[in-house]
Structure 1
């Protein structure tokens, strides 16, 4: 089972997307967008930028959990991962984004 992007509305009527792995787990979540077309552009940016490992910025939160952000060529953050207990879990999450994003289906929940 392959991954999918979901477009949804946030509580303030702005648009967000999530990239889910084949098992339904969220592997990347977006910032909020003011329009659906801007949100769709964000998804296109994930598809394009997820192939290059240098676009993934690995981080450690104050509570020592690991997470990553995916950045576009202009260094803007496109999406952020969930929190992981270990570096290896985070690396697996990055690999999951790389393998799922390019061909992920798109489901509009709005």
Structure 2
């Protein structure tokens, strides 16, 4: 797993994505004004993704499963990609729990 810390030309230019070994997005963030805030967001995802109670399992308007990861205060710290099946979503959650702690952070 790799974590890409991105910077764009947006008003709030910093964001991040957690990518699996195949390079597919598992979790993405909101945009942050400060790089330090984005780094704190990465740490929050790493910490909160280990607890089942922090996952909010949802379904998109087109019926595709996805999830949000929430912090202890209920704020969403990461939103997953859309998955084809609930089994794919479950597998992504399992992969995130196992691999996120040791994931390398790459700044773009």
Residue 10 of structure 1 deviates from its aligned partner by: 3.3
- The one-character-per-residue Cα deviations of 1:30-74 (angstroms, maximum 9, x if unpaired) are 011000000000011111111101111100112111000111111
Aligned match of 2:3: 5
Question: Segments of 4+ in structure 1 off by > 3 A?
Answer: none
**Please, which runs of 5 or more residues in structure 1 have no aligned partner?**
none
Count residues in correspondence: 107
Aligned match of 1:69: 68
Aligned match of 2:30: 31
**Partners in 2 of 1:10 and 1:59 — Cα distance?**
28
**Pairwise CA RMSD of aligned residues?**
1.1
- Which deviates more from structure 2 when the two are superposed, residues 34-43 or residues 100-109? 100-109
| TM-score between the two structures when normalised by the length of structure 2 | 0.93
Q: Is the 8 A contact 1:71 1:78 kept in 2?
A: yes
Higher relative contact order, chain-length normalized (CA < 8 Å, sep 6+): 1
Q: Aligned runs of 1:63-102 on 2, under 5 Å?
A: 63-102=62-101
| TM-score between the two structures when normalised by the length of structure 1 | 0.91
